[in-house]
């Protein structure tokens, strides 16, 4: 490979022609031992140096996204890092600067990229490639410049399965997400491509998809990998199934109430979802068999997942064909009569029972959906603390190989059309879950049939 190496204004700082640009090369203070390399191997060999490229920016370019990408191979402890910065006037300080970790390549070719958002007040952008030890670079795969002009070349560096999954995420998120119009898409796309530059499989798109969803700023869009049964995983581990719990709680010597503890449900369907709804209705039946005069519905540990089995199980407390909420925009939530255990719970007197709902900061997403369904229900009161603030709805976007993105598309509204962007709060906040439970029982004692 022919390289141009010539003297610069300072004899100590030669200039290297690489990737169609002339880079100033300075020796690094962080020196590492270098294994002798074959001079005839393809690519530009760099040892313990920082390559620097400074480009002036026109006023129209200053708010653009910028990228720096390389393909390199290094041996042993040698590593490469990338940096994009925007010097202040006089180069005395930085307006902004981003950099990667120093990445090794384990003796194979590796790709690395960084993206940065420009600043309206800066007049130059500075790209740096830092080599600690020794590394060889492919001239054809070195990109440095505005993202708009280099996105196609950056995409070409990504393996087809990875880019296909990322493209699906970009297309679906732009079409569905409620806050899609607020995203700086050129920058978000450049960041996502930089994050997956060395990917080879569909699952390698995961970091890029996470960046896209975070850019929405809705706090609720996310991506995960489901197992073969469609169950959620977290950090590669299956989220364990926890069944709803029920018990009887004495109000007095003559009166009892049913206490239902409703946890997170990770299953998107299947037997676990069916068992979950059945367990809730079994708890309702337990209360009815004991002539319970009301119920406590404890949502303090319900952190999300699948909302529908919870609403199905609690259906008798709302009544058949009741509209208990809606997606905004989107369809209403209608309770349909499904007797999961044949206990005859769908009666008007059950739908009129007083219900105390316990809330807390861990009540989130689908847990908040159940709380929204109780909002506006007669004979109902909330106790506890403000919920997590995720009362929004997500649509599932399959990305292949088990990956699913959950994209926030609408808000949850109660039966009166009220939305809860900051979560649901009880009329009086309690200091703890225990205090909330005690006040709930005190309120139930004041209700008709529980005296």
Query: For the chain, what are the domain ranges?
Result: 1-33+41-150, 158-217, 233-445
- Report pTM: 0.84
241: region left, alpha or beta (phi > 0 left; psi from -120 to 50 alpha): beta
Domain 233-445 in CATH 3.90.226.10: yes
Q: Which one-letter DSSP state was computed for residue 251?
A: S
In terms of Cβ atoms closer than 10 Å to its own Cβ (0-12, 13-18, 19+), residue 182 is exposed
Q: What is the CATH number of domain 1-33+41-150?
A: 2.60.120
DSSP per-residue string spanning 212-244: HHHHT--S--EEEE--TTSB-EETTEEPPP---
Give the pLDDT of the chain (451 residues) as one tens digit per residue: 334 444 444 456 889 888 888 999 998 766 666 665 655 677 899 999 999 999 998 887 777 899 999 999 998 889 999 999 998 766 556 778 899 999 999 889 999 999 999 887 788 999 999 999 999 999 989 999 999 999 999 999 999 999 999 999 999 999 999 999 999 999 999 999 999 999 999 999 999 999 999 999 999 999 998 877 777 777 777 788 899 999 999 999 999 999 999 999 988 888 899 999 999 999 999 999 999 999 999 999 999 999 999 999 999 999 999 999 999 999 999 999 876 555 689 999 999 999 999 999 999 999 999 999 999 999 999 999 999 999 999 999 999 999 999 999 999 999 999 999 999 999 999 999 999 999 999 999 999 999 8
Identify whether the C-beta of residue 430 lies closer than 8 Å to the C-beta of residue 423: no
pLDDT score of 342: 54
Q: Which tokens sit at 290? A: 């004991």
CA–CA gap between residue 157 and residue 448 (Å, rounded): 70
Q: Where are the alpha helices (DSSP H) in 136-269?
A: 147-156, 160-176, 185-195, 206-215
Predicted confidence (pLDDT) per residue in 148-176, tens digit: 999 999 999 999 999 999 999 999 999 99
């Amino acid at each position: 490979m022919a390289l141009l190496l010539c003297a610069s204004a300072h004899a100590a700082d030669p200039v290297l022609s690489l990737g169609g640009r002339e880079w100033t090369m300075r020796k690094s203070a962080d020196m590492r031992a270098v294994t002798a390399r074959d001079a005839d191997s393809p690519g530009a060999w760099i040892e313990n140096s920082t390559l620097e490229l400074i480009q002036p920016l026109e006023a129209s370019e200053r708010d653009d996204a910028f990228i720096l990408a390389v393909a390199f191979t290094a041996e042993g402890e040698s590593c490469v890092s990338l940096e994009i910065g925007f010097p202040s006037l006089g180069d005395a300080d930085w307006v902004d600067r981003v950099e990667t970790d120093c990445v090794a390549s384990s003796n194979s070719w590796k790709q690395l990229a960084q993206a940065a958002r420009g600043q309206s007040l800066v007049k130059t952008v500075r790209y740096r490639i830092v080599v600690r030890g020794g590394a060889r670079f492919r001239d054809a795969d070195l990109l440095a410049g505005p993202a708009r002009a280099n996105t196609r070349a950056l995409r070409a560096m990504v393996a087809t399965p990875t880019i296909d999954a990322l493209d699906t995420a970009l297309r679906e998120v732009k079409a569905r997400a409620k806050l899609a119009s607020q995203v700086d898409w050129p920058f978000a796309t450049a960041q996502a491509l930089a994050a997956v530059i060395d990917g080879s499989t569909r699952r390698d798109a995961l970091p890029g998809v996470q960046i896209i969803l975070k850019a929405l700023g809705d706090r609720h869009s996310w991506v995960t990998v489901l197992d073969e049964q469609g169950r959620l995983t977290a950090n590669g581990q299956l989220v364990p199934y926890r069944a709803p719990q029920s018990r009887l709680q004495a109000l007095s010597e003559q009166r009892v109430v049913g206490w239902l503890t409703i946890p997170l449900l990770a299953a998107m369907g299947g037997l676990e979802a069916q068992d979950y709804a059945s367990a809730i209705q079994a708890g309702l039946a337990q209360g009815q068999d004991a002539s319970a005069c009301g119920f406590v519905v404890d949502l303090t540990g319900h952190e999300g997942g699948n909302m529908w089995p919870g609403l199905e199980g609690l259906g008798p407390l709302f009544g058949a064909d009741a509209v208990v909420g809606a997606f905004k925009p989107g369809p209403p939530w209608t309770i349909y009569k499904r007797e999961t255990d044949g206990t005859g719970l769908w009666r008007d007197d059950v739908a009129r029972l007083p219900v105390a709902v316990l809330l807390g900061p861990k009540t989130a997403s689908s847990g908040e959906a159940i709380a929204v369904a109780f909002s506006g229900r007669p004979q109902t009161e909330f106790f506890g603390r403000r919920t997590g603030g995720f009362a929004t709805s997500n649509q599932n976007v399959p990305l292949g190989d088990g990956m699913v993105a959950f994209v926030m598309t609408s808000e949850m509204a109660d039966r009166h059309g009220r939305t809860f962007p900051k979560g649901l709060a009880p009329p009086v906040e309690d200091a703890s879950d225990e205090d909330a439970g005690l006040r709930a029982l005190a309120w139930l004692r004041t209700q008709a049939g529980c005296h």
